[in-house]
Copies of this chain bind each other. A is one copy, B any other.
Amino acid sequence: MKAEPLSVCEKRREDLYDWMAGEGTHLVMIEDCEGRRNPAIRWLSGQPGDALLFLSADRRSVLVPWDINIAMLHAEADALIPYAEFERRPVRALQGAVDRLGIPKGSRIEIPASTSYPRFLNYVEELSDFDIICSEGGVWAELEKRRAVKDEAEIKIYRKVSAMTDEIIGLLEKNIRAGSLKTETDVAHFIDRESRGMGCEGAGFETIAAGPARSFAIHAFPAYTGEPFGGSGLSILDFGLTYAGYTSDVTLTVAGEPLSKAQEKMLSLTEKAYKLAVSMVKNGIPAKDIGMTVDAFFARHKKPMPHALGHGIGLQAHEAPSLRGRADNDWILEPGMIIAVEPGIYDPAHGGCRLENDILITENGAEALTNSRIIRL
């Protein structure tokens, strides 16, 4: 009997072992490496990346980190084996885990659904005595679903990172109005320095700061430059802070006078679309309904939105559930999900406009965690 309470990660692993037993899956492999990112490893073990994780039906975990020193500091697992012992090759690591955990021949082994077709063939060949499963269902879907609904520990982290995000939004507004943040780079560095000072790990994604000359793009390229931010016209600022692994994701539009009629209309449409979306966010609603409603709203005004309405956030900036208005989006909102809602429209002649906040779905409705807004100068 364990004397100590289970850690958050241990609890998640235990729940997953139960699920594996029900499915008859003997071994699960998760990979979080360059080009094949999956922070489910962090969710299950605390390891912040560059590793493989193996979970066996007899409730044991083997973590194979690229950097053993990082794993010793951050990760919990029943065994740690440096990736170098397997020549840093995933197939070798799987073979090593099978040996180490004594997985019987003929067992069902689930490998990541992101495994490429050529590599899948290689796994099947190298582990021909086993039943190798590579599917977007199975443990892949199960982890996606479990991670989409945040637990108490995660919601606590989100309250903290949201408060930090809001504090920075307030500071940004103050400093832009005062003229002390003048360029896109000024704004991006200000966010980065303040947030790291507050204890954030960094940015959830590269900050996009696009002044009036560059806001016509959904994601400006380059993401930020030495060009002016703010000033007359529409500027877009899309950023996320990462705290304890979890990222916020907000977008401000800064609207500087004088504004053209076309720009005023874009602002008004975006605000209306945002309110429309948020009014629909609640427990039990199909996510695609919200996406389709907002798509239809913009289409009616002859200003189609060129991207999805939103997405779940968590250990990744984009995760389940999707809010896209597409027939194959079968996510249903439920309590504990945290979504970023981000309607926006873009015009090469007038610039762009987007408004994005993070919203927690609750039993009885929804709660905006962040307070991003359209800032009129």
Contact = CB atoms under 8 A, between A and B. Distances in A.
Interface of A: 34-35, 37, 48-50, 66-70, 72, 74, 82, 84, 87-88, 113-118, 120, 134-136, 185, 189, 192-193, 196-197, 201-202, 206, 216-219, 221-226, 304, 306-308, 318, 324, 326, 346, 348
Contact of A134 (B66, B117, B326): B117
Contacts of A69: 216-218, 346, 348
Copies of this chain, tallied across the complex: 2
17 contacts: A34-B318, A48-B221, A66-B218, A67-B219, A67-B306, A67-B346, A69-B216, A69-B218, A70-B219, A70-B221, A82-B306, A84-B306, A87-B326, A113-B116, A115-B117, A197-B226, A202-B224
Greatest chain B CB density within 10 A among A115, A116, A318 is at A116
B74 A221 contact: yes
Contacts of A120: 117
Contacts of A117: 113, 115-117, 120, 134
Contacts of A223: 202
Contacts of A87: 326
Nearest to A72: B348
B226 A196 contact: yes
A42 to B, nearest CB: 11
A318 B134 CA distance: 27
A196 B232 CA distance: 23
Contact of A185 (B82, B192, B222): B192
A48 B50 CA distance: 26
A358 to B, nearest CB: 19
Given A48-B221, A116-B116, A116-B117, 12 more contacts: A49-B221, A70-B221, A72-B348, A84-B306, A113-B117, A116-B136, A185-B192, A185-B196, A196-B224, A201-B222, A202-B222, A202-B223
Given A37-B35, A116-B117, A306-B82, A67 B196 contact: no
Contacts of A219: 50, 67, 70
Contacts of A72: 348
A70 B116 contact: no
A326 B74 CA distance: 29
A114 B116 contact: yes
A304 B74 contact: no
A102 to B, nearest CB: 27
A161 to B, nearest CB: 14
B226 A306 contact: no
Nearest to A123: B117
B114 A115 contact: no
Greatest chain B CB density within 10 A among A69, A192, A222 is at A69
